[in-house]
Amino acid sequence: MPRSVAQAIELYIESIKDARSIHTARTYKTAMHAFKDFLDSRKPPTEQLEISRLEEDVVAQFATALKELSPATEQLYLTTLAGFFEFLVAERLADVNLARVRLLIRKRARKPGIKLPQFPQEQIDKTINYAINLANQSFEDERAQLIALRDRAFILTLADTGLRVHEACNLRRGDLDRNERKAIVKGKGNREAVVRFTQRSLDALEDYLAARATLDGGSGRQLASLPIFARHDKGAGKKVKPMTPTTGRNIIDQRVTEAIGAEAGKNITPHSFRHYFVTTALIGSGGNLKLAQSLARHQNIAVTQRYAHLSDSDLDKSYMDIFERRE
């Protein structure tokens, strides 16, 4: 049974690892370490501060210290802290007035403004075209060819399915139904969902997996259990190891730089391709928010609405086509 605040924080972080996705757990850990650093700047430090002496008012003090961060980050950290206090009550580690904790957060937290998605469409189109042509390059060895085919398939998959980078990295061969051109994925909150593949993304995947056939066959594992996107660095050797989200981000950084240059591509991340997907769905469906919401797997349609402004240029063109014809 933890007695110090430091021990309770680590126990809370461990509980999050079991209940949330890797990405969410990492975010919560960052927030709780920020809270721990805040407490350690005072006396006594968290290793010596008994959990029973942690008062609700520390929420307001922590909120004040967070003002130098963005409103969105502040709200994220305070939400994580509220979860920590709820954990203390649930585990009977401390007697906490949760109503007061929530009141302090409502009073002190700034509301984040609406942040419009960054969407350099022309640059992403250039990156996609560059990725399509990766397979036409000459390769010095088999490993270089595998990397090129994998990167092409990875970029097209992100752009044409709307998968988040960690979802793509978690895909297994058994998740993909090639005949139906669909895959079952676990998204936010471990919710299962169906994603659909275009023919070009499926063709790129099949080219990559065909080139990987010998490696997969020698793995000694069932094909269905193998990752769709595997590592091909020297450290992986001949083992079929799944890519990590970090590798996915590195792939995007490298290929975007090659396609359009480091300076032009500095704002493009793996999530930019999800923005591309949602916006393409909106434009292609004539602004059908419900359809785009379903394809993007947004729980809240308000998230999908943030993308609606991105199709304004198409509305401008339609307006001119319709009304200027009267001249």
Give residue-wise pLDDT tens across range 176-197.
Answer: 999 999 998 876 666 788 899 9
Report whether 219 contacts 206 (CB < 8 A).
no
Asked if residue 10 lies in contact with residue 46, where contact means CB atoms within 8 angstroms, the answer is no
The arithmetic mean of pLDDT across residues 8-29, rounded, is 84
Residue 80 above 80 pLDDT? yes
Question: Exposure of 160 by Cβ count < 10 A (0-12 exposed, 13-18 middle, 19+ buried)?
Answer: buried
- Sign for the pseudo-dihedral over CA of 289, 294, 298, 300: positive
Cβ(292)–Cβ(304) below 8 Å: yes
pLDDT for 73: 82
- Model confidence at 326, pLDDT cuts 50, 70, 90, reads very low
Q: Given this model, what pLDDT does residue 242 score? A: 93
pLDDT at residue 8 in the model: 87
* 320 has a pLDDT exceeding 70: no
b/e sequence 107-144, b meaning 16+ C-beta within 10 Å: ebbeeeeeeebebbeebbebbbebbeebbeeeeeeeee
Query: Do the two domains 5-108 and 121-315 of this chain adopt the same fold?
Result: no
171 Cα distance to chain centroid:
14
pLDDT at 20 over 80: no
Q: pLDDT digits over 141-177, tens only?
A: 889 999 999 999 999 999 999 899 999 999 999 999 9
CATH 3.40.50.970 fits domain 121-315: no
3-class secondary-structure state, position 4: strand
Q: Is the separation of the CB atoms in 283 and 314 below 8 Å?
A: yes
Contacts of 111 (CB under 8 A, 6+ apart): 71, 75
Domain ranges of the chain: 5-108, 121-315
pLDDT tens digits along 86-105:
988 888 888 888 998 888 88
pLDDT higher than threshold 70 for residue 314:
no
Q: How high is the mean pLDDT of the chain? A: 84
224 vs 54, higher pLDDT = 224
Residue 232: pLDDT band with limits 50, 70, 90: very high
Position 296 scores a pLDDT of 75
Number of C-beta neighbours around residue 3 at 10 A: 12
- Per-residue pLDDT band for 211 (boundaries 50, 70, 90) equals very high
- In contact, 102 and 82? CB cutoff 8 Å: yes
Closest listed residue to residue 128, CA positions, set 295, 268, 304, 309: 268
Q: For a pLDDT cut of 90, what percent of the chain falls above it? A: 32
Identify whether the C-beta of residue 153 lies closer than 8 Å to the C-beta of residue 208. Answer: yes
Is 205's pLDDT higher than 70? yes
How many Cα atoms sit within 13 Å of 19 on the Cβ side? Answer: 9
Reading phi first (left if > 0) and then psi (alpha if -120 to 50, else beta), residue 241 is in beta
Fold that domain 5-108 belongs to in CATH: DNA polymerase; domain 1 (1.10.150)
Is pLDDT above 90 for 319? no
User: Lowest-pLDDT range, 49-63, 107-121, 302-316?
Assistant: 302-316
Place of tokens 């924080």: 9
